[in-house]
Chain A
C-alpha cells in the first residue's frame, strides 16, 4: 500500500475478532487461529514439541519485530518479493493483468524455476507455509455469507498460468479463521533455509522436511515456486537420496541465467538435510 501497488478504498481491522488461540482438535491435531502471531506460534510448546518444522520455519522468517506483528493468516497471504512487482513503473502481469512481465529477461535471481509460467515467474516467498505444507495443514475460512470452508494448503496457493493476479483460492470477502494441523507426524523435523545473509532475508531455497527413522518422509521446498512445492512422487524418493528427490522436484525447471543455481541448490540442501536425518 505504501508503494501504491494496492490502493484499497476500504480497510477493515480484523484484530478484534479474537482468532488468536491455539487449541487442540478432536483428531489430536491443533487449530491455529488466524490472528496468532508468528512469535507466539513459534514459541508454543506443542508446536515446538510436535511440529518443530513449523517452529523452525517461523523463526527463520523476517525479523523479531516483524514476527511479533505478523499473523498466521497474513503470513499465508504475503505477496511475492519480485522487485518489479513493487516498482509501479515496470510492467507486471500480477499487478496489472496483461501489462507484461518485466522480470522475465530482467533481474531474476530471487525468482521461480518451477510452477512458473510465461506470464509470471514470481515465487511465494514465505517460510511458514512451506512447513505447513509438509504438515498437510488445512486452511479454514468463512465467507461473507457465513459459510465455512476447509481448503487443504496444497490447493490454497495458485500457480500463475495466465492469471498471475489470482494467487490463492480465497473468494472476495472470504476470511481465514484458522489453520488446522493434523495429528503430529513424528519423525525428525528440519527447516533449512539458504540465503545470502544470515538473518532477515528471504530464502533462495528452503527445505522443510519430516523424516522418519526408516528414511521415509515428506519434503516441501520454498523459494523456487509460486507456492510451497511438494510432490508425493518426490516424497517417495526420499529413501533413495537427495539426487532422486531433487530430480522429481525440479523436473521441467525453467531457469534464467540468474537463478539456474537453484536447481543444484535444491539437491544440495536436500542432501544436507538427509545427512543430518541419518546422524
Chain B
C-alpha cells in the first residue's frame, strides 16, 4: 500500500480497540518469567555448548601471538576460537568497529577469542588461561584534547555536515541580547537489562541465530555479510528483547562469534556478552562538546542561532548529530549548525535512544533558559514566542502537525509553573533548596517501509506475522490492537508473532519509528485480508464493514468465519511512503517540567516531581505510551544526574564498565511522574495517524532538570551529569 496523500477516515478511526489503555498481551508471560529471552531458548536445539568471550586488554595495537593451548586442555573445553585464525569479518552497514578476526585491535574489549565448553564456568575459567602477547600502540582517547583540531564531519556522500540559513554572523553581531556558552554531555552506555546474547546453530550451510536484536532484517543482512554466506542461509529469531535502546540495532560480537564458534565446534553455541564487556565491546552514545550562541531582540524574538557540536569516534565513524533539531525547532532566526568529528580510538560511538536530540537538547534547552533569563522573560513564554509552524529554513515546508505551544501551556498549568520564583536560589525548605525548571522536547518522526502478513484461520483467530520486534515497548499489543480494529474483532481473537526473519520485513524498532510504521504495515496487510474476506462472502470489499466479528453491508451481515469456511485467508502487504515527509516536516513535541531539591549542605540533587506533556499524533495505547514516556523520563534523569562512562585517557577505555559503577536511576531517585498526551491525530504520518513517543520522552528532560537545579541553587552547570561537586563550593 502506497501512502502518499494524507490519510482520510478509515476503520482505525472507529477507536474501538485502538486508543484504549490496554494491558500488554505479553504481560503475563513477562511477569511469570515464561517469555523466553535469547539466552533461555533451551528448547530450540539440543546439545547447546557454552561460549565465553575474551576481550582485548589493550585499546589500540596488534596481537603478536596468542597461546590457547592451556585453555584447550582445560576441563570441559570443547574448542577455542582465536581472532588470529580468522580474517576480520566484513562490517555491517551501519558499523565501524571490527567485530571479530585479525590481529589488529581497534578498541578495548574487542572480542579476540571464544572459549566453548560444556559449562559456562568451565568456559570462563579456561578463558583466563589464554596467553596473549600484545603490541600496544598510542591512541587518541581524550575528546577535550582533540576537539580543537576536529574537522567538519562528512555525510554519506562526502558532503560536509554543516548547514546555514541567512547570515548568522551578521545577525549575532547585531543582536541586542546574546548568549555564548559551551556545554558537555558524556558518553553513555545503554545499560539495558538483558545483555546481548545469542544461540547459534548450523544445519548444513544454513545458520540460525536466536538472539536479541531490534532490527531483524539488518541483522540478517549483516550476519550474512560477516559470515560471507548468502542471506537466504541466515535465519534470525528474536521474539523477546530485554531492552535495547539502540545497542541492539546491529549485530554485535555475540552473534558473529557464536556463529563462527558453532561452525568450528560443530555444536550449537550459546553465549551472552558478559556485563563488564558490554560498555567497551559494543556501542555507546558518544560524548559531545557543544557551543551554542543565541542572539535575540529585546522583545524576545530569536534573531541568530548557532549550534556546533564536536564528538569523537573511530576513524570511519559518524558524529553524534546533536544539532539536528536546532535547524527546525525555533522560529525565524538566521542560523548555522555544524558537526565536527575527532578521530579517536575509543569504542564505537553509535545510536542510543534519541541519538542527536537527546544530547542536543540537553545543551540547547539550557541555552534557551539562559537566554530567557537574560531577556527577563519567562522561559515558557520565551519559547512560545519563538514557535514556528513552518520549517524555519524553508518557509514553504510546514510542519504536518505542531502542537508545541499547547504542550507548553498545558504543562505549565498541570505543573503549577506560576508558583516558580524567577530569582534563583531563593526557595528554601528545611535542608533543601528548591527550584523549578522546564525544557522543550523535540524528536523527528521517521517514515519507513514496513510489511506484515495476517492470517485469518478457520477458528476465526487472526494471526499477525512480521519480523517487527518488541523491545519491551508494547509492540505486541499495538499490533494486536491494529489487527483487531481492522478486522472488527476483540483483542483476544488476535495472535501476534514477531521477530523471525522468515516473516515479512518490518520497519523494526529504532528511532521511535517502530509504532507508527509497523502498525501501518499491519493496517496494509489487513486491508488485503478484508478484501479477500469480503469477496469470499460476496460483499463489496470497498464498502463492507467489519465489526463484532461480522462483515456487514447494507442489510446483509455474515460472520467473519464464513469467509474461511474453505480454509484460511492470508493478507500480506507493506506500507510504503511517498514524499509526505519531504513536503511536511514531521515531528513530535513535548514540554517537560521538573521540580528539584538540592541539599544546601551536601549539594545532593533530588527530583521532587516531573510533568511531561507530549504531542505525538494518535496515541495508539495510552498505557504503553505512558510507560514509554516515564521510562524515557527516567533515562533523561539518569543522563542529567548520574550517568557517564568515565574515560581512562591513558589506557583508552571506559572504566566504570559494570552496573555497580555505571549508575542509572533506581526507584528511590524517581518521584511520581505525570504524563499527559495532547489529543491529536497526524494524517500525514500514516493511515494510523500516529507518531512515536519512545524517544520523545527523553528529549529535553535533562535540561529541565539542569534548569531546575539552577533555579534552586543559582549555580549554572553546563557539564553533565550534574553531580554535587559542580555546585558544592558555590552554595550559600
Contacts and interface: CB of A to CB of B under 8 A. Distances in A.
Interface stretch (A26-34, A197-205, A210-218): A197-205
A90 B651 contact: yes
Contact of A268 (B602, B606, B661): B602
Interface stretch (B187-195, B421-429, B476-484, B652-660): B652-660
Contact of B602 (A86, A88, A106, A194): A194
A107 B648 contact: yes
A3 B728 contact: no
A265 B666 contact: no
A268 B729 CA distance: 10
A268 B601 contact: yes
Contacts of B667: 199
A271 B657 CA distance: 34
Nearest to A242: B601
A224 B668 CA distance: 24
A199 B431 CA distance: 19
A90 B725 CA distance: 27
A205 B725 CA distance: 12
Contact of A265 (B125, B276, B657, B724): B724
B67 interface: no
A102 interface: yes
Question: Contact size class for A?
Answer: 35 or more
Contacts of A143: none
B161 interface: no
B430 to A, nearest CB: 10
A198 B668 contact: yes
Interface in B702-732: 721, 723-725, 728-729
Nearest to B670: A198
B191 to A, nearest CB: 13
Contact of B599 (A89, A110, A272): A272
B1 interface: no
Interface in A160-200: 192, 194-200
Interface stretch (B213-221, B435-443, B639-647): B639-647
Contacts of B603: 265, 268
A170 to B, nearest CB: 25
B665 interface: yes
A110 B651 CA distance: 19
Contact of B650 (A7, A105, A264): A105
Contact of B655 (A3, A106, A195, A199): A106
A87 B660 CA distance: 13
A209 to B, nearest CB: 14
Interface string A124-136: 0000000000000
Contact of B668 (A102, A107, A199): A199
A269 interface: yes
Nearest to A261: B725
A197 B663 contact: yes
A269 to B, nearest CB: 5
A205 B723 CA distance: 14
A197 B602 contact: no
Interface of B is mostly: loop
Interface in B94-134: 124-125, 128
Given A86-B658, A107-B647, A272-B602, A198 B666 contact: yes
Nearest to B127: A4
A102 B651 contact: yes
Given A83-B661, A197-B666, A268 B728 contact: yes
Contacts of A199: 666-669
Given A3-B276, A107-B648, A265 B602 contact: yes
A21 to B, nearest CB: 31
B463 to A, nearest CB: 40
B558 interface: no
Contacts, number: 90
A160 to B, nearest CB: 20
A200 B661 CA distance: 11
B604 interface: yes
B431 A107 contact: no
B496 interface: no
B57 interface: yes
A4 B128 contact: yes
Contact of A83 (B650, B655, B668): B655
Contact of A271 (B601, B646, B729): B601
A83 B128 contact: no
Contacts of B656: 83, 107
A106 B601 CA distance: 28
B585 to A, nearest CB: 38
Nearest to B725: A261
Interface in A62-88: 81, 83-84, 86-88
B657 A87 contact: yes
A109 interface: yes
A89 B666 contact: no
Given A84-B655, A106-B651, A197 B601 contact: no
A198 B601 CA distance: 16
Contacts of B729: 261, 264
B669 A198 contact: yes
Nearest to A259: B725
Contacts of B647: 107
Contacts of A7: 128
A197 B667 CA distance: 10
Nearest to A88: B128
B641 A106 contact: no
A107 B663 contact: no
Contacts of A106: 648, 650-651, 655
Contacts of B657: 83, 87
Contacts of A264: 728-729
A81 B661 contact: yes
A268 B732 CA distance: 12
Interface string A36-69: 0000000000000000000000000000000000
Contacts of A196: 641-642, 663, 721, 723-724
A261 B728 contact: yes
Contacts of A261: 724-725, 728-729
10 smallest A-B Cβ distances: which pairs? Answer: A261-B725, A198-B668, A272-B601, A89-B57, A199-B668, A107-B646, A107-B655, A196-B642, A268-B601, A198-B669
Given A83-B646, A194-B724, 11 more contacts: A4-B124, A84-B655, A87-B655, A89-B57, A90-B651, A196-B663, A196-B721, A197-B666, A265-B603, A265-B724, A275-B601
6 contacts: A83-B656, A87-B657, A88-B128, A89-B58, A110-B661, A194-B604
Interface of A: 3-4, 7, 81, 83-84, 86-90, 102, 105-107, 109-110, 192, 194-201, 204-205, 261, 264-265, 268-269, 271-272, 275
